[in-house]
A and B are shown apart, each in its own frame.
Chain A
């Protein structure tokens, strides 16, 4: 029993950044869900605002603020807010309008991710066609006054708790697998420190700001480590969370095994500047390797195809580079996508997914016939 509490406390200490917005969001949704005797809307809105802000803090990055990041926060904030409104709104017509808002802002996210054709298609089909038809049905099926359908919820507590448990698990897994904010912090620190010249200044710059290492960086035979050593040891630990890339693993082992000996040499060598230069070279490699690690974090690429030995899987490259080939990236770390989005999508659809396109067309046809057959009110029902 005691172990359980201890484990829970350790878990909370480690993941309070995720747990806090989840709790606030859960309270908000539970309080705002429609029920015959409603809680005060103010309480729920305050909890919802707190959840949004805390979740935003979870995603905030070190580094410069760019147009991209501002747009990302705006669009995703609106999307999540409208999503919350959609499930707590009691008037279905308002709910449909907030769904339109969800669609529009996720289209903004599509545009940020270099998918202009999808943005246009989603707006036309969802916001244009589907939503208007829905409003049409709503008008047909309107009822007056309070209504079982709109003013009651089924098991609001159980559904909210299970939904947020699901979200918590998703966020934890995403955090473990795809979160690169720790590596980014190391990169920023290394970049700042390598602009300095004197050994003491570099040392001070590496420890400047948030503490990147814990006490375990001081373990080992060496008693008093410099900040440079602690930084590199902590970075090698961070790299050990990244799996799969051979070069990163080699760099990590190098840092872990060779470093202590070399540092002892440097410290007792007569020339302090030589040590600083060596540290700067190491920091440059930290930047390079860290960037690569951040870009390939969480990748599960299948084995590359070797045409001679016929090992690996030969994957099609009609929709861009195949999944088992390395991704080309520009200096900012963006993967290269074709500039002609529509043409490239067409190429992908009519080569890789030709059969799927035909099936989707057939599905649409069958759905049209089905809709007419279901809604038909002819002599059968008369």
Chain B
């Protein structure tokens, strides 16, 4: 019975790390960028735990605990920052903050228009059919 070798776990860690990098570079929603950074940390954690298993000592697992601690701190601070940023610009788009770029950088302008959302179809209405039943006037015979 052979366990999956170290190499396989390292490859999975590398793939998670790179997917996180790509997401962090391309996505513009602050929250998705943050999740991508967390995914990079997960890739590193998989790596460390695999090495701990391979070498038969617990240093890798201890490091992973510290990674989790730092990720928790980061999450708390990041959420507070996102709330402040959202309050200022009323959007989570990071490109709204591009005045913070280097002085010699060109601003990033979106040229392609966003697709207009399809107008909501009005709810179907039943065509009136038949005739309105006449209602007998209720009279009381008291």
Contact = CB atoms under 8 A, between A and B. Distances in A.
A154 B25 contact: yes
Contact of A323 (B15, B30, B57, B108): B57
B108 A154 contact: yes
Interface residues of A, number: 117
Given A106-B42, A150-B29, A337 B65 contact: no
Interface stretch (A159-167, A227-235, A263-271): A159-167
Contact of B23 (A86, A152, A356): A86
A133 B34 CA distance: 13
A79 B16 contact: yes
Contacts of A363: 69-70, 73
Given A83-B15, A84-B19, A374-B77, A345 B61 contact: yes
B1 interface: yes
| Chain B, interface SS category | helix
A80 B16 contact: yes
A145 interface: yes
Nearest to B85: A141
Interface stretch (A113-121, A211-219, A253-261): A113-121
Nearest to A323: B55
B11 A349 contact: no
B22 A92 contact: no
B49 A36 contact: no
A113 B80 contact: no
A323 B5 CA distance: 19
Nearest to A153: B26
Interface of B: 1-12, 14-23, 25-32, 34-36, 38-39, 42, 45-46, 49-50, 52-59, 61-62, 64-66, 68-77, 79-84, 86-87, 91-96, 108, 110, 112-117
Interface of A: 29, 33-37, 55, 58-59, 61, 63-64, 66, 68-69, 72, 76, 79-80, 83-84, 86-87, 89, 92, 95-96, 99, 102-103, 106, 109-110, 112-115, 117-118, 121-122, 125-126, 129-130, 133-134, 137-138, 140-141, 143, 145-156, 159-160, 162-164, 166-167, 170-171, 174-175, 178-181, 184, 294, 298, 319-323, 327-329, 332-338, 341, 344-345, 348-349, 352-353, 356, 360, 363-364, 366-368, 370-372, 374-375, 377
